[in-house]
Structure 1
Amino acid sequence: MYELRPVQIVQTPNQILMLYMFEKRWRVIWTDGRALPKNPDPRWYGYSVGQWEDDYTFVVQTIGMDDRTWLDNAGNPHSTDMRVEERYHRRDRDTLELTVTIDDPTAYTQLWTPRNKLPLKLMPPDADLMEMICSPTEAAAYKKLVDTQKK
Protein backbone atom coordinates (compact mmCIF):
# COMPACT_ATOMS: atom_id res chain seq x y z
CA MET A 1 0.00 0.00 0.00
CA TYR A 2 2.83 2.36 0.77
CA GLU A 3 5.48 3.11 -1.78
CA LEU A 4 8.31 5.56 -1.22
CA ARG A 5 8.99 5.85 -4.95
CA PRO A 6 6.86 8.29 -6.96
CA VAL A 7 3.10 7.72 -7.02
CA GLN A 8 0.64 9.53 -9.26
CA ILE A 9 -2.81 10.19 -7.78
CA VAL A 10 -5.69 10.51 -10.24
CA GLN A 11 -9.19 11.56 -9.17
CA THR A 12 -12.23 10.55 -11.23
CA PRO A 13 -15.90 11.13 -10.34
CA ASN A 14 -16.17 7.69 -8.64
CA GLN A 15 -12.69 6.72 -7.53
CA ILE A 16 -9.17 7.75 -6.75
CA LEU A 17 -6.45 5.82 -8.54
CA MET A 18 -2.95 5.52 -7.14
CA LEU A 19 -0.52 4.73 -9.96
CA TYR A 20 2.76 3.36 -8.65
CA MET A 21 5.94 3.78 -10.66
CA PHE A 22 7.41 0.48 -9.45
CA GLU A 23 6.26 -2.39 -11.68
CA LYS A 24 3.39 -0.28 -13.03
CA ARG A 25 1.01 -1.25 -10.23
CA TRP A 26 -2.18 0.59 -9.38
CA ARG A 27 -4.69 0.81 -6.56
CA VAL A 28 -8.38 1.78 -6.66
CA ILE A 29 -10.07 3.70 -3.84
CA TRP A 30 -13.83 3.97 -4.39
CA THR A 31 -15.32 7.40 -3.59
CA ASP A 32 -18.87 6.88 -4.85
CA GLY A 33 -20.37 6.36 -1.37
CA ARG A 34 -20.37 2.56 -1.41
CA ALA A 35 -19.81 0.63 1.80
CA LEU A 36 -17.02 -1.87 2.30
CA PRO A 37 -18.19 -5.33 1.18
CA LYS A 38 -18.85 -7.96 3.87
CA ASN A 39 -16.52 -10.63 2.44
CA PRO A 40 -14.38 -9.23 -0.37
CA ASP A 41 -12.16 -11.46 -2.46
CA PRO A 42 -8.57 -11.04 -1.24
CA ARG A 43 -6.49 -8.54 -3.23
CA TRP A 44 -2.87 -7.44 -2.96
CA TYR A 45 -3.95 -3.88 -2.11
CA GLY A 46 -7.25 -4.86 -0.50
CA TYR A 47 -10.63 -3.30 -1.17
CA SER A 48 -10.69 0.41 -0.35
CA VAL A 49 -13.34 3.08 0.03
CA GLY A 50 -12.60 6.70 0.82
CA GLN A 51 -14.33 9.92 1.65
CA TRP A 52 -13.38 13.53 2.22
CA GLU A 53 -13.54 14.47 5.90
CA ASP A 54 -13.00 18.14 5.05
CA ASP A 55 -11.35 20.15 2.27
CA TYR A 56 -7.87 18.97 3.29
CA THR A 57 -8.31 15.44 4.67
CA PHE A 58 -9.09 12.26 2.72
CA VAL A 59 -9.81 9.14 4.82
CA VAL A 60 -9.50 5.63 3.34
CA GLN A 61 -10.74 2.35 4.89
CA THR A 62 -9.28 -0.89 3.50
CA ILE A 63 -10.14 -4.55 4.11
CA GLY A 64 -9.64 -7.79 2.19
CA MET A 65 -5.86 -7.71 1.87
CA ASP A 66 -4.39 -10.97 0.68
CA ASP A 67 -2.66 -12.56 3.68
CA ARG A 68 0.39 -13.39 1.54
CA THR A 69 1.32 -9.70 1.59
CA TRP A 70 3.38 -8.00 4.29
CA LEU A 71 2.70 -4.84 6.25
CA ASP A 72 6.13 -3.47 5.42
CA ASN A 73 9.54 -4.27 3.97
CA ALA A 74 10.56 -5.90 7.28
CA GLY A 75 8.09 -8.70 6.53
CA ASN A 76 5.64 -8.05 9.37
CA PRO A 77 2.63 -10.30 8.72
CA HIS A 78 -1.09 -9.70 9.01
CA SER A 79 -4.24 -11.78 8.95
CA THR A 80 -7.28 -11.63 6.70
CA ASP A 81 -9.04 -9.78 9.56
CA MET A 82 -6.86 -6.69 9.13
CA ARG A 83 -8.49 -3.29 8.65
CA VAL A 84 -6.42 -0.28 7.65
CA GLU A 85 -7.29 3.39 7.96
CA GLU A 86 -5.24 5.93 6.03
CA ARG A 87 -5.58 9.66 6.58
CA TYR A 88 -4.12 11.87 3.86
CA HIS A 89 -3.98 15.47 5.06
CA ARG A 90 -2.85 18.37 2.87
CA ARG A 91 -0.50 20.15 5.28
CA ASP A 92 0.62 22.82 2.84
CA ARG A 93 0.84 23.41 -0.88
CA ASP A 94 3.54 20.78 -1.48
CA THR A 95 3.05 18.30 1.36
CA LEU A 96 0.60 15.49 2.04
CA GLU A 97 0.82 14.00 5.51
CA LEU A 98 -0.09 10.31 5.76
CA THR A 99 -1.19 8.71 9.03
CA VAL A 100 -1.92 4.96 9.00
CA THR A 101 -3.71 2.90 11.65
CA ILE A 102 -3.71 -0.90 11.39
CA ASP A 103 -6.31 -2.91 13.29
CA ASP A 104 -5.68 -6.66 13.18
CA PRO A 105 -6.91 -8.37 16.37
CA THR A 106 -5.91 -11.80 15.03
CA ALA A 107 -2.24 -10.88 14.48
CA TYR A 108 -1.66 -8.07 17.02
CA THR A 109 -2.82 -7.24 20.55
CA GLN A 110 -3.38 -3.54 19.90
CA LEU A 111 -3.84 -0.99 17.13
CA TRP A 112 -0.65 -0.31 15.23
CA THR A 113 0.01 3.32 14.34
CA PRO A 114 3.45 4.62 13.38
CA ARG A 115 4.72 7.31 15.74
CA ASN A 116 5.66 9.67 12.94
CA LYS A 117 3.39 10.92 10.23
CA LEU A 118 4.81 10.32 6.78
CA PRO A 119 5.25 13.53 4.77
CA LEU A 120 4.74 13.00 1.05
CA LYS A 121 6.20 15.71 -1.16
CA LEU A 122 4.16 16.55 -4.22
CA MET A 123 5.81 16.39 -7.62
CA PRO A 124 5.50 19.24 -10.13
CA PRO A 125 2.43 18.94 -12.41
CA ASP A 126 4.62 18.20 -15.43
CA ALA A 127 6.55 15.37 -13.71
CA ASP A 128 6.54 12.10 -15.60
CA LEU A 129 6.49 8.69 -13.94
CA MET A 130 9.20 6.55 -15.46
CA GLU A 131 8.68 2.87 -16.06
CA MET A 132 10.35 0.77 -13.41
CA ILE A 133 9.92 -2.92 -14.04
CA CYS A 134 12.11 -5.60 -12.51
CA SER A 135 13.81 -6.80 -15.70
CA PRO A 136 17.33 -7.10 -17.14
CA THR A 137 16.96 -3.83 -19.07
CA GLU A 138 15.99 -1.97 -15.88
CA ALA A 139 18.99 -3.50 -14.08
CA ALA A 140 21.28 -2.30 -16.89
CA ALA A 141 19.86 1.24 -16.69
CA TYR A 142 20.33 1.25 -12.90
CA LYS A 143 23.93 0.02 -13.21
CA LYS A 144 24.65 2.74 -15.78
CA LEU A 145 23.20 5.39 -13.44
CA VAL A 146 25.22 4.13 -10.45
CA ASP A 147 28.43 3.87 -12.48
CA THR A 148 27.94 7.45 -13.73
CA GLN A 149 27.53 8.75 -10.17
CA LYS A 150 30.74 7.03 -9.01
CA LYS A 151 32.86 9.07 -11.43
Structure 2
Amino acid sequence: MMDIHKILKQLPHRYPFLLVDRVIELEKGKRIKALKNVTINEPFFEGHFPSRPVMPGVLMLEALAQAAGLLAFDALGTAPSEDMVYYFAGIDGARFKRPVEPGDQLILEAELLRTKAGIFKFKARATVDGELAVEAELTCAMRSVA
Protein backbone atom coordinates (compact mmCIF):
# COMPACT_ATOMS: atom_id res chain seq x y z
CA MET A 1 0.00 0.00 0.00
CA MET A 2 2.82 2.42 0.88
CA ASP A 3 6.51 1.61 0.57
CA ILE A 4 9.40 3.37 2.30
CA HIS A 5 9.72 5.95 -0.51
CA LYS A 6 6.13 7.10 -0.04
CA ILE A 7 6.52 7.05 3.75
CA LEU A 8 9.57 9.33 3.48
CA LYS A 9 7.42 11.81 1.54
CA GLN A 10 4.77 11.77 4.27
CA LEU A 11 6.76 11.71 7.52
CA PRO A 12 9.48 14.18 8.52
CA HIS A 13 11.32 11.53 10.58
CA ARG A 14 14.65 10.18 9.40
CA TYR A 15 17.28 7.72 10.66
CA PRO A 16 17.52 6.77 13.44
CA PHE A 17 13.99 7.88 14.31
CA LEU A 18 11.88 6.69 11.38
CA LEU A 19 10.06 3.68 12.82
CA VAL A 20 7.66 2.63 10.03
CA ASP A 21 9.00 0.51 7.16
CA ARG A 22 5.85 -0.20 5.16
CA VAL A 23 2.10 0.39 5.20
CA ILE A 24 0.26 -2.82 4.35
CA GLU A 25 -3.36 -1.67 4.76
CA LEU A 26 -4.95 1.77 4.76
CA GLU A 27 -8.66 2.49 4.99
CA LYS A 28 -9.01 6.22 4.38
CA GLY A 29 -10.00 8.10 7.52
CA LYS A 30 -10.53 4.89 9.48
CA ARG A 31 -7.55 2.63 10.08
CA ILE A 32 -3.99 1.75 9.14
CA LYS A 33 -1.83 -1.35 9.41
CA ALA A 34 1.91 -0.91 9.04
CA LEU A 35 5.08 -2.73 9.97
CA LYS A 36 8.43 -2.10 11.57
CA ASN A 37 11.17 -4.67 11.05
CA VAL A 38 13.21 -4.73 14.23
CA THR A 39 16.88 -5.57 13.64
CA ILE A 40 19.92 -5.86 15.89
CA ASN A 41 21.33 -2.86 13.98
CA GLU A 42 18.92 -0.47 15.74
CA PRO A 43 21.06 2.09 17.60
CA PHE A 44 19.04 1.82 20.84
CA PHE A 45 19.96 -1.85 21.32
CA GLU A 46 23.54 -0.89 22.17
CA GLY A 47 22.39 0.45 25.53
CA HIS A 48 18.93 -1.14 26.00
CA PHE A 49 20.20 -3.68 27.05
CA PRO A 50 23.65 -4.92 26.03
CA SER A 51 23.10 -8.45 27.39
CA ARG A 52 19.39 -8.69 26.50
CA PRO A 53 18.36 -6.29 23.68
CA VAL A 54 14.75 -5.08 24.06
CA MET A 55 13.03 -2.31 22.08
CA PRO A 56 12.17 0.54 24.48
CA GLY A 57 8.44 0.91 25.15
CA VAL A 58 8.48 4.60 24.32
CA LEU A 59 9.81 3.74 20.84
CA MET A 60 7.00 1.23 20.34
CA LEU A 61 4.57 4.05 21.15
CA GLU A 62 6.45 6.38 18.80
CA ALA A 63 6.18 3.80 16.00
CA LEU A 64 2.42 3.64 16.60
CA ALA A 65 2.22 7.45 16.55
CA GLN A 66 4.10 7.58 13.24
CA ALA A 67 1.68 5.06 11.73
CA ALA A 68 -1.22 7.11 13.14
CA GLY A 69 0.33 10.22 11.58
CA LEU A 70 0.29 8.55 8.18
CA LEU A 71 -3.40 7.79 8.71
CA ALA A 72 -4.11 11.39 9.77
CA PHE A 73 -2.33 12.91 6.76
CA ASP A 74 -4.20 10.52 4.47
CA ALA A 75 -7.53 11.38 6.14
CA LEU A 76 -6.86 15.08 5.55
CA GLY A 77 -5.83 14.42 1.97
CA THR A 78 -2.66 16.48 2.37
CA ALA A 79 1.02 15.87 2.80
CA PRO A 80 2.75 17.50 5.76
CA SER A 81 4.57 20.73 5.09
CA GLU A 82 7.67 22.19 6.68
CA ASP A 83 5.55 24.64 8.66
CA MET A 84 3.32 21.89 10.11
CA VAL A 85 4.34 19.65 13.02
CA TYR A 86 2.54 16.55 14.31
CA TYR A 87 2.95 16.30 18.11
CA PHE A 88 2.03 13.79 20.77
CA ALA A 89 -0.64 15.40 22.97
CA GLY A 90 -1.46 12.41 25.16
CA ILE A 91 -1.00 8.70 25.75
CA ASP A 92 -3.73 6.95 27.72
CA GLY A 93 -3.95 3.40 28.98
CA ALA A 94 -0.57 2.28 27.65
CA ARG A 95 0.04 -1.37 28.43
CA PHE A 96 3.12 -3.36 27.49
CA LYS A 97 2.43 -7.07 27.14
CA ARG A 98 5.58 -8.62 25.68
CA PRO A 99 9.15 -7.58 24.92
CA VAL A 100 10.08 -6.76 21.33
CA GLU A 101 13.49 -8.13 20.35
CA PRO A 102 15.81 -8.12 17.33
CA GLY A 103 14.34 -10.23 14.55
CA ASP A 104 10.74 -9.40 15.46
CA GLN A 105 8.34 -7.79 13.01
CA LEU A 106 6.18 -5.26 14.82
CA ILE A 107 2.73 -4.94 13.23
CA LEU A 108 1.38 -1.46 13.96
CA GLU A 109 -2.37 -0.84 13.89
CA ALA A 110 -4.20 2.41 14.54
CA GLU A 111 -7.87 3.27 14.29
CA LEU A 112 -8.99 6.90 14.08
CA LEU A 113 -11.60 7.41 16.79
CA ARG A 114 -12.26 11.12 16.25
CA THR A 115 -10.77 14.34 15.00
CA LYS A 116 -11.55 17.97 15.71
CA ALA A 117 -9.61 21.18 15.10
CA GLY A 118 -6.34 19.43 14.30
CA ILE A 119 -6.57 17.05 17.31
CA PHE A 120 -6.67 13.33 16.49
CA LYS A 121 -7.56 10.49 18.87
CA PHE A 122 -6.49 6.94 17.96
CA LYS A 123 -6.86 3.48 19.40
CA ALA A 124 -3.53 1.79 18.68
CA ARG A 125 -1.90 -1.58 19.17
CA ALA A 126 1.20 -3.41 18.05
CA THR A 127 1.66 -7.15 17.78
CA VAL A 128 4.45 -9.62 17.10
CA ASP A 129 3.46 -12.95 15.55
CA GLY A 130 -0.18 -12.22 16.48
CA GLU A 131 0.72 -11.63 20.13
CA LEU A 132 -0.08 -8.23 21.66
CA ALA A 133 3.08 -6.25 22.48
CA VAL A 134 1.62 -2.82 23.34
CA GLU A 135 -1.71 -1.01 23.27
CA ALA A 136 -2.73 2.57 24.05
CA GLU A 137 -4.99 5.44 23.10
CA LEU A 138 -2.96 8.17 21.44
CA THR A 139 -3.86 11.83 21.10
CA CYS A 140 -1.91 13.80 18.54
CA ALA A 141 -2.12 17.40 17.40
CA MET A 142 -1.16 19.09 14.15
CA ARG A 143 0.13 22.57 14.71
CA SER A 144 1.61 25.24 12.53
CA VAL A 145 5.13 26.31 13.43
CA ALA A 146 5.00 29.41 11.24
Which structure is higher in helix share?
Answer: 2
| Greater relative CO (CA pairs within 8 A, separation 6+) | 2
TM-score, with length taken from structure 1:
0.42
Greater Cα radius of gyration, structure 1 or 2: 1
